């Protein structure tokens, strides 16, 4: 007789796999760091499989629209969830600009440091100024694709974008490559307000499989940072609203 495996047991098995995978990947990265051979190549060999595997384990089905960047540029887009970083790792070769607290995150922090993540203390003017220099050097000298979330916080429909990275792009003739992320269902996947990481991830698995859509728009040359920030933000947020309308329409059927 065929037995139905309870959803809670499936979730527990997947959660256990994610935990063991995270511990194993962290150990590999830390061992490489101790041996002195932790670099971008060795970190990529760990983080890309880790990101893809665990996105799949948590129930994400990824759909990519448009063409991810292959040339040095600054990637900018909306920030929805802690899943955004593994998603970008899985779909691009981007280096991140991230808050300094990310250094303490298991796997992500160690890998991010090895990959050349630019860490910024948001409350420090000196740190922000140094970050601008590192972004410029990262693109122009190191030929990196650098990803930043101009909102600075996660949400569903988004908040006002900060213009700093667009000013950097205008001053140094760096291409901006916009993207849009959307998860269906939108609210369970979004990490906002007082959400706590582990309970949120556990509850999200109730909706597995859930859809993850990332859309890459055409790269843009920035000629007026203030105006172009608003234009690109509007394009991304309009795409988010279209996704929300589609989600609502499908739910009502």
Q: Check whether 70 has a pLDDT greater than 70.
A: yes
Distances (CA, A) of 159 to 146, 150, 215: 21, 9, 19
E strand residue ranges, the chain: 60-65, 73-77, 95-99, 118-120, 145-148, 176-184, 210-216
Please check whether residue 40 is in contact with residue 114, taking contact to mean a CB–CB distance below 8 angstroms: yes
Please check whether residue 97 is in contact with residue 150, taking contact to mean a CB–CB distance below 8 angstroms: no
pTM of the model: 0.88
Q: What's the mean pLDDT when you consider all of the chain?
A: 87
Other CB atoms closer than 10 Å to residue 180's CB: what's the count? 23
- List of residues 6+ apart from 35 with CB closer than 8 A: none
**123 confidence band (pLDDT: 50, 70, 90):** low
102 backbone dihedrals φ, ψ, rounded to 5°:
-65, -25
Radius of gyration of the chain (CA): 19
- Would you state the pLDDT for residue 2? 45
Least confident of 95-104, 194-203, 206-215, 230-239: 95-104
Give domain 7-252's CATH number out of 3.40.1000, 3.40.1130, 3.40.630, 3.20.20: 3.40.1130
CA atoms within 13 A on the CB side of 245: 6
- Would you state the pLDDT for residue 3? 52
| pLDDT tens by residue, 12-34 | 888 888 888 888 887 887 788 78
Q: Which helix (H) or strand (E) holds 28?
A: helix 7-35
| pLDDT tens by residue, 220-251 | 999 999 999 999 999 999 999 999 999 999 98
Q: Check whether 128 has a pLDDT greater than 80.
A: no
Per DSSP, 160 falls in state P
| pLDDT tens by residue, 136-177 | 999 999 899 999 999 878 888 878 999 999 999 999 999 999
């Amino acid at each position: 007789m065929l037995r139905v495996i309870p959803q809670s047991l499936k979730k527990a098995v997947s959660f256990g796999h994610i935990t063991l995978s995270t511990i194993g990947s962290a150990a590999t990265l830390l061992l490489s760091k101790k041996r002195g051979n932790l670099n971008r190549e060795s970190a990529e060999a760990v983080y890309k499989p880790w990101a893809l595997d665990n996105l799949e384990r948590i129930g994400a089905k990824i759909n990519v629209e448009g063409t991810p960047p292959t040339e040095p540029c600054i990637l900018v887009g909306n920030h929805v969830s802690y899943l955004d970083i593994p998603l970008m790792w899985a779909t691009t070769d981007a280096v991140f600009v991230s808050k300094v607290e990310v250094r303490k995150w298991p796997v992500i922090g160690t890998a991010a440091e090895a990959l050349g993540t630019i860490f910024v203390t948001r409350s420090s003017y000196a740190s922000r100024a140094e970050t601008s220099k590192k972004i410029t050097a990262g693109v122009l000298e190191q030929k990196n694709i650098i990803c930043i979330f101009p909102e600075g916080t996660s949400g569903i429909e988004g908040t006002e974008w900060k213009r700093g990275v667009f000013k950097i792009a205008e001053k140094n003739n760096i291409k901006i490559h916009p993207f849009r992320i959307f998860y269906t269902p939108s609210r369970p996947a979004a990490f906002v307000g007082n959400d706590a990481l582990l309970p949120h991830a556990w509850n999200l698995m109730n909706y597995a499989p859930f859809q993850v859509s990332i859309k890459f728009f055409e790269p843009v040359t920035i000629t007026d940072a203030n105006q172009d920030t608003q234009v690109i933000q509007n394009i991304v947020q309009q795409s988010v609203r279209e996704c929300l309308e589609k989600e609502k329409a499908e739910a009502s059927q």
